[in-house]
Amino acid sequence: MTREDVLPFAERLWARIERGSNGECWRWLSWHDADGYAGWRVMGAPSRRPQRLIYALERGEFDNALVIDHLCRNRWCVNPWHMEPVTGVENVLRGVGPAATHARETHCKRGHPFTEENTYPNHNGRGCRACKREKQNAPGYRARANEMRRRRRRAARTYDEPEAA
Ligand SMILES: [Zn+2]
Ligand SMILES: [Zn+2]
């Protein structure tokens, strides 16, 4: 779709956008679909995806066979300078957010493979057992752990002591 296809709807589109500079995210003020992407239902409009309409309007045209990859990762953002039209396959491969990136990694930061035996669940999603082992065997680790335990015990004792009269 070209800019000309969208022009008749331009005014209604802009009325629903909190427009900022090209570097800022532009918030879509109308409804969003269940996935959090901007949506629009206007009879006769060449697309129901306002981000596509805005893209065509501001950048000349949009190839309807492509999907939009949000470079800023804000699904509600309709700033056409934060969008890159890509094929559906590309979009999946690129993944979204650190979770997808993390899941694609096959080795930990220090090069140990993320095999089933070498992986345990932690707050980041998964941790590397080899790294954990190395950390625990590192010189000074036991002494530091003992010191921490002593401090915790001392703190608990202080807390339990009745206040002096
Ligand atoms: Zn944005
Ligand atoms: Zn590791």
| pLDDT tens figures, 51-92 | 999 999 999 999 988 888 888 888 889 999 999 998 776 666
Confidence of residue 138 (pLDDT cuts 50, 70, 90): confident
Residue 165 is predicted with a pLDDT of 52
Closest C-alpha to 99, from 125, 119, 71, 77: 125
Confidence of residue 8 (pLDDT cuts 50, 70, 90): very high
CA of 26 to the centre of ligand 1 (A): 6
CA of 116 to the centre of ligand 1 (A): 37
Provide DSSP, 72-133: T--TTB--GGGEEEE-HHHHHHH-SHHHHHHHH--B-TTS-B--STTEE--TTS-EEHHHHH
Ligand 2 ion: residues within 5 Å (CB): 108, 110, 112, 128, 130-131
CA of 16 to the centre of ligand 2 (A): 48
Judged by its nearest atom, the ligand closest to the C-alpha of residue 21 is 1
